[in-house]
Chains A and B, each alone.
Chain A
Amino acid sequence: MTVTADISTLWHNVARLLDYAPDSPMLFSSGTFWALFLVFMPVYALLRNRLWYMLTFVVAFSLYFYYKSSGWFVLLLGATSLIDWSVSRLMSRTGVRWKRRTLATVSIVLSLSVLGYFKYANFFLWNWNRMVEGNFQPLDIILPVGISFYTFQSISYVVDVYKGRVSATTTWLEYVFFLSFFPALVAGPIVRADYFIPQIRANYHANRTELFAALWMIIVGVLKKAVIADYIAQYNDLIFANPTGYSGFESLMGVVGYTMQIYCDFSGYSDMAIGLALIMGFKLSRNFDFPYKSKNLTEFWRRWHISLSSWLRDYVYIPLGGNRRGTARTYLNNFLTMLIGGLWHGAAWKFVFWGAMHGLGLAVHKATMPLTRRLPDAWWVKAAGWTVTMLYVSLLWVFFRADSWLDSWLIIKNIFTNFSLSYVAPFVSVRWMWLIMMTVIIAAHALPSRIVDAAGTAFVKSWWVVKLLIFLITVQLVLEFAGEDVAPFIYFQF
């Protein structure tokens, strides 16, 4: 082993690593973030008891973190925070209802307009061209990372101030801290003002148990995202890139693989975000609760991307009337809410369809509840419910992932018309590592919660050296399975 070094480029490379690079956003699982967090931690701990210093420091770090991923769109984030905060201050100073409502409306329309421009303008143009045979060229628009997440946070703040759920005495610094809080900035969980802002002044210090529980969450998150999701994605991508190029069995494995990939990718990111926040003494609500254990679609949406589904419930479903306007209207509200949820995921008809089908599924589940409630509380009923739910959810992931409608149908058709068990043996011999990864995550997902919790507790109680060893093994696993390119989180694009 020989080591040769050319350190003449050291400072240039450090500067390059710290500069905005459009093709390599700063991920929590990257070495650059790790190094920066090592600097961040002691400074944060020293400033923790001096609120305004701490706020300034964390906001500066968060804005830099956003700059590293999105460049000068950081100014857009700053402008959004300034406008919404100003509007909320104005709202708090007037007791006239119509003025408050107008201000809230202006703020929400502004936020949605910005989101609409960056995310949906080209979708609109595409549809317009199709409808009127126009030839408007697509706009050269770059979608700022995480804009959907912080826009929803900002809207929830304005609505909460309007409704009096949050005090508008919050300073701009506190508000921008809430909006730009780096653990949740680019891909959630969507933080709610009424839950988060009171924590800022509470000055809570994570205790030793919480700190290492946070480290455990980060380790689990890294394993899910950077090891499992990124690895199984390699095979899944092949299937979705060439829908007719593989047998029905291989296509089926690709669909099952993507079902687990998107869970590991997004829940892994959420675990890391929640763990990082907890190290700083902030508690973010749980974003995933073993969603693939769900025995019906309603339960699935209570376990999957909880921060989004609860946001949609509180700011879309309930304002639409929720379940207060009769059965038919309840189903319609469910459907519309999920339709918006689908569109939130991306500017394409496939996301609209995905959301609509989930809305339809929720409506069907609610409509059949009087019948299903009469069924016995037996294992086979639960198994049947779980099977139907998983089939439906997995099937819809095909439309979510595939590049086009045609590709979606081809993959599904391929599974049903080109299926042969003769492919099982060669598949096992060639894709054995993919199968091991899938087995590990499915087994971990199927374990009772108490066992998963016990593993976390055992880690927290273990010796420092054991923790270090586990952390190093995690890092080595990431290195062993990593590709050469950075694999961004799937949810970055939303």
Chain B
Amino acid sequence: MHTILNHSHSLLKRSYISLWLLLLVAFGLVAAVSCFDEVKVGGHSFKTASFFDELTNRDPWIVDTLPVPVDTGMLDSVPPAPRFPVPVDTASKTILFFGDSMLEGLSPRLAAYCEENGHTLYTVIWYSSTTQVWGDCDTLSTFIRRFKPDYVVACLGANELFVRDIAKKREKPMQHILDQIGERPLLWIGPPNWKEDTGINDFLADRLDEGVFFLSNGMSFDRKKDGAHPTSASAALWMDSVVMWMPDHALYPIRLDLPSKAKGRPARVTLLQPLK
């Protein structure tokens, strides 16, 4: 036994310990630095690993197994009604509807409204996209240049329900999205939460003007098998709810009379694959 231990010890010492120590020290350093969101050196911010966040975050699955603190901040996330009703714009619009996979359900219903009311709808679905994805590139500008919309509808946030420190992480991309939209009237449909989020809804409500953000959190949905996406029928009701909310609450209400058809076809649908 003693011989075996000695041999093993010398084996470790001889061949592996140097490499193992290198990997261990590197891991220790990376793990230690991961306690910080970012590290600034000479004005440049370096990203850190997600070890710390992954080991200490609370979402999403343990939500069901741990006591959930009483949420007293719910009401803060509900956007207040605009100070005064805004007259409905009855002119025909060219609408750009962009966002994540939630548009699969929303877009056909909005297209039906558009057909009924003389609007032209262009839909751009970027699967698995987030405010970060859209905000880190100029893809939105490209579509704005191409379709020349005079009204923009967004539905983003479902893929970032559980991102920690969302306000800090998404400030720049969000600003870039808003810069690209510019002065065009905007309506932003919030994500259909299936669990309580870590701040995306509060962040959107905070960053968007009064009457621009439609809070979907709190609504009831029939979900597809994935547990996240509303079924086609439920998504149509979701769109109907947005339309019903608009006359009294939206900053830029447009004419959206109830369509005779359940679903319509946008003038063009562009599908973008996930970044990775």
- A interface with B by C-beta (< 8 Å): 1, 3, 5-10, 12-14, 16-17, 31, 34-35, 37-38, 41-42, 45-46, 48-50, 205-208, 211-212, 215, 230, 233-234, 237-238, 240-242, 245, 279, 430, 464, 467-468, 471-472, 475-476, 479-480, 482-487
A9 touches B62 (CB 8 A): yes
Point out the residues of chain A lying under 8 angstroms from B22, CB to CB: 215, 464, 467-468, 471
Alpha-carbon distance A484/B274, docked complex (angstroms): 11
In the complex, besides A35-B27, A468-B26, A472-B29, 17 extra interface pairs with C-beta distance below 8 angstroms are A7-B55, A7-B56, A12-B66, A17-B54, A41-B23, A49-B11, A205-B15, A233-B276, A237-B274, A237-B276, A241-B271, A241-B272, A245-B270, A471-B26, A479-B46, A484-B130, A487-B276
B16 touches A472 (CB 8 A): no
A472 touches B26 (CB 8 A): yes
A484 touches B12 (CB 8 A): no
The 10 residue pairs across chains A and B that have the minimum distance between CB atoms: A487-B276, A241-B273, A479-B47, A3-B35, A45-B16, A12-B62, A241-B272, A46-B8, A234-B275, A13-B55
Point out the residues of chain B lying under 8 angstroms from A484, CB to CB: 130, 132, 163
> Which chain A residue shows the least CB distance to B60?
A16
B15 touches A207 (CB 8 A): yes
Q: Can you offer 19 A-B residue contacts whose CB atoms are under 8 A?
A: A7-B55, A8-B66, A9-B55, A9-B62, A12-B65, A34-B23, A34-B27, A46-B11, A208-B18, A211-B16, A215-B22, A230-B276, A245-B142, A245-B270, A430-B138, A468-B26, A471-B26, A485-B276, A487-B276
B4 touches A49 (CB 8 A): yes
Our count of residue pairs bridging A and B at CB distance below 8 angstroms stands at: 142
Max chain A C-beta neighbours (<10 A), residue from B22, B24, B35: B22
CB of B36 closer than 8 Å to a CB of A: yes
Point out the residues of chain A lying under 8 angstroms from B39, CB to CB: 1
Alpha-carbon distance A448/B101, docked complex (angstroms): 46
Alpha-carbon distance A211/B18, docked complex (angstroms): 9
Closest approach, in angstroms, between the C-beta of B122 and any C-beta of chain A?
A: 12
A483 touches B276 (CB 8 A): yes
> Which chain B residue shows the least CB distance to A480?
B47
Point out the residues of chain B lying under 8 angstroms from A471, CB to CB: 22-23, 26
Point out the residues of chain B lying under 8 angstroms from A206, CB to CB: 15
A45 touches B62 (CB 8 A): no
Point out the residues of chain B lying under 8 angstroms from A480, CB to CB: 46-47
Digitize B39-72: 1 where CB-to-A-CB distance is under 8 Å, 0 elsewhere: 1000000111111101111100110011000000
> Which chain A residue shows the least CB distance to B8?
A46
Closest approach, in angstroms, between the C-beta of A276 and any C-beta of chain B?
A: 12
Closest approach, in angstroms, between the C-beta of A6 and any C-beta of chain B?
A: 5
* Interface set, chain B 127-164, CB cutoff 8 A to A: 128, 130, 132, 138-139, 142, 163
Alpha-carbon distance A245/B139, docked complex (angstroms): 11
Point out the residues of chain B lying under 8 angstroms from A5, CB to CB: 35, 52, 56
Closest approach, in angstroms, between the C-beta of A414 and any C-beta of chain B?
A: 15
Alpha-carbon distance A430/B136, docked complex (angstroms): 12
- Identify which of A279, A479, A483 contacts B49 (C-beta below 8 A): A479
Alpha-carbon distance A467/B54, docked complex (angstroms): 28
Point out the residues of chain A lying under 8 angstroms from B49, CB to CB: 31, 475, 479
B276 touches A42 (CB 8 A): no
